[in-house]
Amino acid sequence: MSQERPDATGGERPEGDEREVRSVTNRVAIAFLLTTAAGIGLFVVYLQGGQVQLEGALLAVALGGLGYGFVLVGRRLLPQGPYTEERDRLVATPEEITAFEDDMERGSPWLARRGFLLKTLALAGGALGLAAILPIRSLGPNPGNTLKTTQWRKGSRVTDEQGNPVPVDTLDVGGVITVFPEGALEDEESQTLLIRYDEEKFQVLDGREDWVTNGYVAYSKVCTHAGCPVGLYQQDTGDLLCPCHQSTFDVNHGARPIFGPAATPLPQLPIEVDDDGYLVAQSDYTEPVGPGFWNRNR
Amino acid sequence: MMITRTVRWFDNRLGASGFARKALNKIFPDHWSFMLGEIAMYSFLLLVLTGIYLSLFYVPSEASVTYDGSYGPLKGVQVSEAFNSVMRLSFDVRAGLVMRQTHHWAALVMMAAVIAHLCRIFFTGAFRRPREINWIIGVSLLLLTLGNGFTGYSLGDDQLSGTGLRIAYSVVISIPVIGEWIAFLLFGGDFPGENVLDRFFVIHIMIIPAAIFALLGAHLAILIRHKHTQWALPGRTNDNVVGAKLWPTFAAKSLGLMFLTWGLLAGLGGLAQINPIWIWGPFEPAAVSSGSQPDWYVGWMEGALRLMPNWEIRAFGWTVPNPFWGGVLIPGLTFGLLFAWPFLEARFTHEDRMEHHVLDRPRDRPLRTALGVATLTFYLVLFIAGGNDVLAAQFDVSVNAITYTLRVLVFVLPVVTAYIAYKLCKELARRSPLPEPASTIVRRTPEGGYVDVEPPAVPVPGGR
């Protein structure tokens, strides 16, 4: 047989290593038996209601046993070579390439005014292509002013995370809570931090004298960098820190960015107190909240 | 007899025995670094198998339900259907948790294997002609793997994945001119959007896996066409390939590697907890915690966002917001340069444009090696910066100090490591020069003529 197909086999196994072969074969068999045992174990564990650590350990043993067995067979029992194979020529001969090009051009003599036909075909493809990708437009609404507005309106009551209106005596100096406009609880873009500031350190910005009331100031909680909630307030310094990328804002100076990647101050919500003693918004934010975008300031 | 009959039956219908025999005899050079791509492929196969199982239970819906499963601390909490279904998989579906955690681990390992494989190809010059197309396919596979990792990570609708999505949304709207539109079309509106989860689910389980299957098929087909590269060792030339045959030796070893990889991943999936969404809790837009870290392969982008000084371009009323630099420009440059690398190198080294089938030793290409080391260092520093808050807490230093330091190190360290790598290459190459290329032996025949004889091939040191 081997004379008819000289390169078909790995050759004869060399003599004199029967003991080695027997010992490796036994190890492979033990590995496969281990897999069998772990497989039965998995069966039992599943029937008993499952247990994640046991399942993982048994799977590791079962698959590991198979893997170890196969690697042993491949490395220790089967012919190792090395065998040498010549690379075929990768590149076609010039004659083959010419013949290929001729075949490609087979139809040309049969087509009159080929350039004209190709142009109209390109036009047809373009028109159909545009029509075919247009439905992508249905995937979402027109952005319009969506990113520039929130749910705050003139007179919106300030409500806490449970939806209760916030009376003016809620916070002590240094206190902070997350608030939403009434009726828009958990609205991502409307989340706002209501802070009772320290009158000695707080400097109101020019033109915003009326935006604060009774020692309260309200800033958007959406970070102007990448939109995470600016959730960490350091009472003693008046710094607001965004835990995502560590942008830091100075509450006492118009929430201007003082560290990290944020470049824009947190927008301030103008607030006042209504006749019943609850905090309300004077209007929506006067600038877009959250991270920047191309036409943010237009 | 059985085998003969089966082979005959198929050959009579397909006539494939000749081709199949060629496949059985394909030569695989023997070196540990050739396993990296295999590990990536086998991780992908396991991802498909476990992923199919998970998809039978997952509900891609943001509709709110009250959690009523067997995990006590969240009982009665309002959660999304998606979060609820992942909780059910983790606690109330028998064998669900081991499948889910194995899936997650397999994704992390696949990513690592793909990148290690890319490094192997880069440092040994295996991307040179004629393999440029396969390099491009490989980089595309890396991009797809990243995309599938991120979309999969987002499906849990937990606090951590929601934070990741929020940042991704901000990165998308930072793209000049069209960013807002892309975000609205992708998410179905303003964040968090109406359709994120069902869209990401389709992308995660169908669109990207189908693309990976297609490109992986092309990757392997081209590999078979080109045959493997090999190290410059006695008996190995640009015109041959030396190693073990596919059948049966390589097949047994590779099957063994597959099962060992799967065993490791399943072991991790059972014994090492990963992404415990019951600890993160369901996504609430107004909540976030410090120490929010993405999966490791997104760490470099996270780090780029964190290290960036607060620069924004504002001109004529238009804005290029800050996340553009770290979230769009750096990844864009990264992948642009990766795709273009084989052509850039060929152009700037003025090397011969011949076919290369023999690998470079990294030490013999000190400039390329130094450049590769610098690049890896750059991304390592970005990766570390992605955890600057964790470092600050761990070592009790100010996060600001760490950030300022890393802003400098991200440019200085690559220069330092590149210099060291360059010197090391030169020294190593001096100590162990490449063997002489003369690889034929001239023998005199009894008749008095001369013939060239190939020296016998020897096994590779470091072979497996």
Q: What is the mean pLDDT of chain B?
A: 93
Separation between Cα atoms, residue A142 and residue B188, nearest integer Å: 10
Cβ neighbours of A293 in B, within 8 Å: 173-174, 179-180, 319, 321
CA-nearest residue to B26 within chain A is A85
Contact yes or no for B286 and A229 at CB 8 A: yes
pLDDT at B285: 86
Cβ neighbours of A46 in B, within 8 Å: 94-95
Cβ neighbours of A64 in B, within 8 Å: 259-260, 263-264, 267
What distance in Å separates residue B50's CA from the closest CA in chain A?
13
**Alpha-carbon radius of gyration of chain A:** 37
pLDDT tens for A142-176 read 999 999 999 999 999 999 999 999 999 999 999 99
pLDDT at B222: 96
SS3 B403: helix
Contact yes or no for A292 and B319 at CB 8 A: yes
pLDDT tens for A221-246 read 999 999 999 989 998 899 999 999 99
Residue among A49, A65, A140 minimizing CB distance to B188: A140
SS3 B312: coil
Among B85, B37, B36, B27, CA closest to B59: B85
What distance in Å separates residue B242's CA from the closest CA in chain A?
4
What distance in Å separates residue A15's CA from the closest CA in chain B?
19
Contact yes or no for B245 and A81 at CB 8 A: yes
- Please report which helix (H) or strand (E) contains residue A94, including its range: helix A94-104
Model confidence at A4, in pLDDT bands (50, 70, 90)? very low
Q: What is the mean pLDDT of residues A21-48?
A: 97
Contact yes or no for A225 and B312 at CB 8 A: no
Cβ neighbours of A233 in B, within 8 Å: none
CA-nearest residue to A191 within chain B is B286
pLDDT at B462: 52
pLDDT at B448: 77
User: Does residue B262 contact residue A63 with C-beta atoms inside 8 Å?
Assistant: yes
Question: Which residue type, as a one-letter code, is found at position B147?
Answer: G
Can you give A226-238 as a three-state secondary structure string?
CCCECCEEECCCC
Among B59, B45, B126, B134, CA closest to B89: B59
Model confidence at B451, in pLDDT bands (50, 70, 90)? confident
Cβ neighbours of A134 in B, within 8 Å: none
Residue among B179, B322, B460 minimizing CB distance to A294: B179
pLDDT at B457: 61
Q: What is the mean pLDDT of residues B303-326?
A: 95
Model confidence at A5, in pLDDT bands (50, 70, 90)? very low
Q: What is the mean pLDDT of residues A174-189?
A: 94
Sign of the torsion formed by the C-alpha atoms of B450, B453, B455 and B456 = negative
User: 């020692």: which residue's tokens?
Assistant: A215
pLDDT tens for B349-380 read 876 678 999 999 999 999 999 999 999 999 99
Cβ neighbours of A70 in B, within 8 Å: 252-253, 255-256, 259
Residue among A75, A85, A290 minimizing CB distance to B253: A75
CA-nearest residue to A70 within chain B is B256
pLDDT at A217: 97
Q: What is the mean pLDDT of residues B313-328?
A: 95
Cβ neighbours of A71 in B, within 8 Å: 252-253, 256-257, 260
Contact yes or no for B312 and A63 at CB 8 A: no
Residue A153 CB coordination number (10 Å): 16
Separation between Cα atoms, residue A285 and residue A268, nearest integer Å: 7
Question: Which residue type, as a one-letter code, is found at position B278?
Answer: W
Topology of the domain comprising A149-298: Rieske Iron-sulfur Protein (2.102.10)
Among B108, B97, B412, CA closest to A54: B97
For the entire predicted model, the pTM comes to 0.93
pLDDT at A15: 67
User: Does residue A294 contact residue B177 with C-beta atoms inside 8 Å?
Assistant: yes
pLDDT at B464: 46
Question: Which residue type, as a one-letter code, is found at position A166?
Answer: V
Question: Which residue type, as a one-letter code, is found at position B118?
Answer: L
Contact yes or no for A260 and B355 at CB 8 A: no
Task: Take residue A77 and report the two structure tokens written for it.
Answer: 């029992």
Separation between Cα atoms, residue A222 and residue A45, nearest integer Å: 48
Contact yes or no for B319 and A72 at CB 8 A: no
Residue among A74, A78, A141 minimizing CB distance to B184: A141
Cβ neighbours of B130 in A, within 8 Å: 90
User: Does residue B439 contact residue B358 with C-beta atoms inside 8 Å?
Assistant: no
Cα A103 to Cα A98, A107, A108, A114, A240: the distances in Å are 9, 8, 10, 17, 72
Extents of the domains making up chain A? 18-77, 149-298
Best residue of B45, B131, B190 to probe chain A, by most A CBs closer than 10 Å: B190
pLDDT tens for B127-177 read 999 999 999 999 999 999 999 999 999 999 999 999 999 999 999 999 999
Best residue of A63, A177, A237 to probe chain B, by most B CBs closer than 10 Å: A63
pLDDT at A65: 98
Residue among B235, B319, B323 minimizing CB distance to A225: B323
Cβ pairs A/B, distance under 8 A: 307
pLDDT at B287: 87
Model ipTM? 0.92
What distance in Å separates residue B419's CA from the closest CA in chain A?
31
Best residue of A9, A28, A87 to probe chain B, by most B CBs closer than 10 Å: A87
What distance in Å separates residue A81's CA from the closest CA in chain B?
6
pLDDT at B439: 54
pLDDT at B57: 98
Contact yes or no for B130 and A90 at CB 8 A: yes
Separation between Cα atoms, residue B442 and residue B461, nearest integer Å: 26
Q: Evaluate if residue B463 carries a pLDDT over 60.
A: no
Q: Reading across the β-sheet that carries A158-159, which strands appear in turn?
A: A158-159, A176-181, A192-196, A216-220, A268-269
CA-nearest residue to A56 within chain B is B270
Measured N-to-C along each axis, helices B35-55 and B208-226 cross at an angle, to the nearest 10 degrees, of 150
Contact yes or no for B322 and A262 at CB 8 A: yes
The CATH class of B31-362 is mainly alpha
Contact yes or no for B240 and A85 at CB 8 A: yes
Cα A23 to Cα B148, B243, B400: the distances in Å are 45, 26, 62
Q: What is the mean pLDDT of chain A?
A: 92
Residue among B95, B225, B243 minimizing CB distance to A55: B95
User: 């083959």: which residue's tokens?
Assistant: A96
- The residue with greater pLDDT, B215 or B447, is B215
pLDDT at B458: 59
Q: What is the mean pLDDT of residues A13-23?
A: 81
DSSP codes, B62-112? --EEE--SS-GGGTT-EEEHHHHHHHHHHHTSTTHHHHHHHHHHHHHHHHH
Model confidence at B436, in pLDDT bands (50, 70, 90)? low
pLDDT tens for A93-141 read 999 999 999 999 998 888 889 899 999 999 999 999 999 999 999 999 9
What distance in Å separates residue A204's CA from the closest CA in chain B?
24
Question: Which residue type, as a one-letter code, is found at position B99?
Answer: M
Cβ neighbours of A63 in B, within 8 Å: 259-260, 262-263, 266
Cα A253 to Cα A240, A258, A288, B274: the distances in Å are 11, 10, 19, 42
Task: Take residue A153 and report the two structure tokens written for it.
Answer: 């309106």
Cβ neighbours of A81 in B, within 8 Å: 242-245, 249, 457
Sign of the torsion formed by the C-alpha atoms of A45, A50, A56 and A57 = negative
Question: Which residue type, as a one-letter code, is found at position B341?
Answer: W
Contact yes or no for B169 and A262 at CB 8 A: no
